[in-house]
Structure 1
Amino acid sequence: MSEFKKLGVTPEIAQALAELGYEQPMPVQSEVIPQLLNKTRNIIALAQTGTGKTAAFGIPIIQKTDVKNVTPQTLILCPTRELCLQIAGDLADYSKYVDDIKVLPVYGGSSIESQIRALKRGVHIIVATPGRLIDLIKRKTVSLSNVQSVVLDEADEMLNMGFTEDLDEILSYVPENRSMLLFSATMPREIQRITGKYMKDPMEITIGRKNEGALNVRHTYYVVHAKDRYLALKRIVDYYPNIYGIIFCRTRKDTQEIADKLMQDGYDADSLHGDLSQAQRDLVMSKFRNHNLQLLVATDVAARGLDVDDVSHIINYSLPDDIESYTHRSGRTGRAGKAGTSISIIHTKERGKISQIEKQINKQFEKREIPKGDVICEKQLFNFVDKIEKVKVNEEEIERLLPSIFRKLEWLEKEDIIKRIVSLEFNRLIEYYQEAEEIFEPDDQSSGRRKGERGRQSNRNGNVSREPEKGYSRLFINVGKMDGINPAVLMGFINENVKGKVPIGKIDLMKSFSFFEVPEDVAPKVVSSFKGMHLEDRKLLVQFAQDADNQKSKKNYGRKKEENLGFGRNKKRGKKQRY
């Protein structure tokens, strides 16, 4: 006998579940399904995203629907279009062998006229986002007067997105004697207000502890300087060759910038944020679900309702402001019984927030060191070898090509072929990490750090200096980040003002000045090209870095001296000069 049948599920629905691969009910399903089938009126279910909530409320709803009465009997409210479609699709799967049951997803960003036509034909279950449902109510194209059950799925997410007033308005159109089921990952104060106002004597079912993190998620963190955050992100991603993850940023601007940088650096990445049109959003979501993207860079709001079971890693590029948001972020991985990892990249001042999150979710964070370049290369290499070992060979298709391939490569020994295959795949990665400086924690500013950075050190003024690469000279220029300078702008500016194309090596951008490296033979020409040069009323200064260091006892590169020299800000107008 099916385990679901033991819960009281009908044979028709149990058959559909078996075909979907549902063998054992998940804890939330075992708790909720019998209660709903036994007509418990009001239930608050606290469970993490990905624990099987849709089946927990969807199966009893389908089973209790009177298909002969073609009016809305159940209303399911959820925060996003994606979740709305996901729930409607799941209900359709569960009701495969239930004749004539009609489920309608109602959401913004799609034709309202087609939804109105479907409502006129009659539906039993409406799955809706609040905004579109209110629009349909005001047009008098939907009636909720016969609704017997209301489900609020991811209720805390809806409140975080500002749907409190919308929920109040929608529930005013629903009969007072209806039952209500509220699903939430966390239990903030606003949820308690809703339950107190609309639910009489609710039964509370908690899977795990209140506000607890998902059981299958491991939580780790790395401490880095703010300027090293993106470089640390790249190393973390490279350390997990098969990562399929979501990178969370605080703002839309950060989200787009990080996604752009990752794409420029050759990663399969894209962004998801509120500035995208619905068509762009759908395209990105489709690519991610189909594994055509390895990394999705998203804001908290944009990722709400994202329902993908096999996300391996969540990376917090910046920690969220509230712990509830961290719980939702980490709940995007470790779903459907699979293991997952939630990674946070933090600076020293955020250690206290890590402790707060640990207490709230009842999970211990593991502090880790940023992976070294040689370790990353080794891990990537063995992952590649593992793929070669396990690759499926189409013997029939390749058979006719093999003789020509063997003749072409017969002069090479087996070891030579292996070396060439590996080099073809990994030369770029190996070269990058040979040149890249290791990333250290902000606390490690001792002599050990200077050893690891191959000659890089901090001088007494706090200015970063280091020995240039072999064959290069290191130059100073009195423009920096506060002037709107980035590497591309600086390279373009130098080549515009120096005759002949100048190869530019490493660049270090500071707040109000910068260092850059050029070949030794062209360095004097670069310095002389900027002598006496002004930008508007501003004097530009380019000199050898060692000359700038030698003047540190006479000159202060701080703010006051910069203003006296005309660096950074224009004294007369008090405005930044930008290129």
Structure 2
Amino acid sequence: MAGFSDFALHKTIQQAIHDMGFEEPSPIQEQCIPKILEGVDLVGQAQTGTGKTAAFGLPLIEKVTGQNAVQAIVLTPTRELAIQVSGELMKIAKYKRVRTLPIYGGQSIGHQIRALKQGVHVVIGTPGRVLDHLRRKTLRLDQVRMLVLDEADEMLDMGFQEDIESIIKETSSERQTLLFSATMPQEILRLSRKYMNAPETVAISRKEVTAPTIEQVYYKVFERSKLESLCRILDSEEIDLGIVFCRTKRGVDELTEALQERGYMANGLHGDLSQAQRDKVMQSFRDATIELLVATDVAARGIDVGNVSHVVNYDIPQDPESYVHRIGRTGRAGRKGIAMTLITPREMKQLRTIEKISKSAIESRTVPSIEEVMERQQTIWREQLIALVEGDSDMTPFMEVVRQLKEEYPLEKISAAALSIAFSSSISPGEEEVYDFGETGASNGMVRFFINIGRSVEIKPPDLIKEITELVGISGKSIGRIDIFENFSFVEVAKESAPFVYEALRHSRMKGKRINIEPAKPRAKRQ
């Protein structure tokens, strides 16, 4: 497999890749980057989460020159994706003087006009807002050398075909055109034939993969409380040795440091370590002087330690093949093992793909509560205390303190205070993800949401139930009353599932339409 250093990319971009923590190209990057650098038009078929933004972003930033004009434009279906792509391109251009600008509806057009007047090299925008700027003459595309259509199938589903064609006509016929799409319907193929010059196709095919027969579970977590959730899970498990997987080298360093600060015996492993450092970390892991190895996929290749009891996907793997490779680190030689994956709301679809392709049944579990963790910890503390009391440890210095204190305080209180000092760091409650949706006019124990789709897109209650259960990973029993009107709907969900439903649907689409979900107003309450 090629490394990023094998691509004809400037050292400033290579440095940015290093800073971003990427170790080696994903399959789509490995195949697309050399072709795009050669200047050919390209059609790439790949799912979200396969690294396609860097697949076009790295060569795009490489090709931008110092000329003060818009030299590249990336069209995306939504403002969320425009912001995300813009952020990625800014990281790639960290050491190169390239100005990028996301333009989308919902943001002040005056702000965008001022930024465009100051000079921008790369525009990332939604078709509607880009067309608006073209009509106002505040954006010129006659100097564009590269046009990227990102998630083209979604743009067409959302009715942007005419807008896209109008924008393409404003660009030079000498441009390089790149089209990325998860699916290849006839409309996409017609678009590519009409506006692309002998495009080459890169399709990342799904290999047949089968997961090992070990216990597989996932925990629904929120991004902001991911670390706290991981700590609770670790504290409630009996771990012999565990491998925790992160997506990037930076992620490994940050998580390792955070776990060490909380008293876990953890160390990190990634490609930036020297061979001597890697050997030292691996020896500590084999000797069980550390219990948690935090690693990237690349660093964990070839690890063959027989008694790994737990594999934790702190970051969801980018494809089913990586998932199978990761979880294969446990359950060796007939031993028991468990694979745990932390899933944020926007990653549920990716998990469903992994389940389907790897033919896995991944069970849903709830992150342990503080009380459950405390109960588990109490058993451990009791065992440690008994071992000390019955052992031959010298406790003379502490006995004198106890003798002095027991003259004024009961022994029970003294013991509890001593335990509190000794173990307070391991029972820190951390940050809780708190959602208060207020009064929404729902039945008892439920939360009622407003959703911006209705009969106009031919949606019915069974469709809504199917979409929500699949997207959120909850039972249909958690969904209550549904009221569907022409252009919007109301749906009730169980209070404990409401935060995840809210987060998951905010980043999703139904019937090709971007979902807007809000807690219902109290006046909608039924009498």
Normalising by structure 1, we get a TM-score of: 0.42
Higher relative contact order (CA 8 A, sep 6+): 2
TM-score where L is the length of structure 2:
0.46
